[in-house]
Structure 1
Amino acid sequence: MTDRLVILDRDGVINQDSDDYIKSLDEWIPIPGSIEAIARLSHAGFRVAVATNQSGLARGLFKLEMLNAIHQRLRERVEAEGGRIELIAFCPHGPDDGCDCRKPRPGLLLEIAARFDVELASVPFIGDSLGDIQAARAAGARPWLVRSGKGERTLERLREQGMDNESRDIPIYPDLNAAATALIDTL
């Protein structure tokens, strides 16, 4: 067994995203195959962490207790498949708060690296947004992109902004299930 780390964004990668935020257990809906993908990563020897912006807290859309309940459900679903999420790091701040943890800043990823005592140079961060890509690069991690969630919009933005060259070195997959398969195949 290896002892490798993979970091995942939450909304749009693990569960369906919403421009109105995920505010309740009823609104937290896993993307088909994502829970099983996390379990497969665990079985393959990957340590799994999640890095997620949760500005709905700062906006007063839900309370910390609800966020904890959503994360508990996520962990339970993964554990029911025989997998494990070892850490969920989240930014509770709003976009104008100037914190270091809100993606695209690298704070959440650096926190995860410190907690696991690892260098991020070979660690994939699988996300669906430009902010995820920027955070990965700023932290020294390897950005991976999924087309689920905001992934298609992100690819379009990269094309519109003439950043196609920037995205060429980023592995792009339909969803977390496909990304997990590709990651496991590298072992």
Structure 2
Amino acid sequence: MRGYARSREAQTRPGGRLVIPWSRLGTIALTVADDGKSATGWVQGLATFMPGRGTDQGREYHAIRSGAATDRSAHVDRDLGALTDPNLLFALRVSHPDIRISTEGDGRGLAVRLHDGISSWATAFTDESGATDASEGGPRHLLAEVEAGRRHWEERGSPPLWDFGMTVGPDRQEVWVGAPDAGPYFPT
């Protein structure tokens, strides 16, 4: 998105609107500033388009997990059901864009699968009683990373996805919550 938006904002007159797919996050609508050197806007929805040319989609969960031994058991302190909240999922995609999260409930509990598209994976299952069994493989501790992203979101008041926005300029791309001058949501 970085290079794409910057090149498009320079080609769009001040006040012009750009509606752009934002990675796996959804769409964002940016308005080009009066000086024509930056564009700012809000999340517009979770609809996504097909991936852009040259975008590495990485390997799917089953390809990473298939045949890989469990490296370690993982400890989960909190309810994984929060990972079904679209607002939290959006915030996690902003703070940890390379971690893919899927959830599946079947009446007996909730299964959560995480992977990074390369070599790390995590699986957690919470049964009806609330007991969670979790395991991970690969170099990263994905459950801990997701928990850190969840805490970051909660510490900022658990903002809904519609409160996220972005400013793009010649040498920066900044995601913010509430207002463009609020500072970056997640330091890069």
TM-score by length of 2: 0.27
Flag the structure with larger Rg.
Answer: 2
Instruction: From the two aligned structures, give the one with the greater helix fraction.
Output: 1
TM-score by length of 1: 0.27
Instruction: From the two aligned structures, give the one with the greater strand fraction.
Output: 2
Q: With a CA cutoff of 8 Å and minimum separation of 6, indicate the structure with the bigger relative contact order.
A: 1
